[in-house]
Amino acid sequence: MADRTNPSHIQQRPYVSTTVPPRGNSINHPVASFLRQLQSQSPEHSRQRFGLLAFFISGGILLLLTGITVTAFVLGFIAFLPIIIISSPIWIPLFLLITGILSVAGFLFGTAAVVSWTYMYFKGMHPVGSNQVDYARSRIYDTAAHVKDYAGGYFHGKLKDAAPGA
């Protein structure tokens, strides 16, 4: 039997700084093995492995939540399908009515916004985007003037060639 009071008989373990305290016989545990591998690698390797681990964990959780959501939707749809079918004479006109009302409201809002912007622009109140409209208008005017000058010179030269004595 070994004498436990004598410190020379105590087996020394190499010091490894871990964030997980050792618990019992966890030497062959996969998490402990993974952490030991992480600590033996360079910090960049460790960061990449932790990033990959986080990616797989979060991806697995999101995949699980997606599966639960789809399953709940399908089961709910199956459960409420008879009620939906029985009450469909109410749902279809109601859907069309609500769709029509929302469409008309959206078109009216869009029209009011365009009319309001146009009114403010022509009154000189400089609404948002008016500088871009002014820039586009000046570019169009400059291009039109350039084309007019080019075309005027082109046709004037052709007339001279057609009647050299004129």
State both tokens at 9.
């008989």
CA pair distance 1, 20, nearest whole angstrom: 32
CA angle 122, 127, 129 (to 5 degrees): 105
Interacting residues of 9 by C-beta distance below 8 A, sequence separation 6+: 2, 3
State yes or no: pLDDT of 96 exceeds 80: yes
The better pLDDT of the pair 3, 94 is held by 94
Terminal CA-CA length for the chain: 133
pTM above 0.85, yes or no: no
For residues 75-94, b (16+ Cβ closer than 10 Å) or e, as one string? Answer: eeeeeeeeeeeeeeeeeeee
Q: Which residues contact 32 (CB under 8 A, 6 or more apart)?
A: 20, 22, 26
SS3 call for 99: helix
Q: For the segment 7-45, what is each residue's pLDDT rounded down to a tens digit? A: 555 555 555 555 555 555 556 777 777 777 766 666 677
Contacts of 17 (CB under 8 A, 6+ apart): 39
Confidence bin at 165 (pLDDT 50/70/90): low
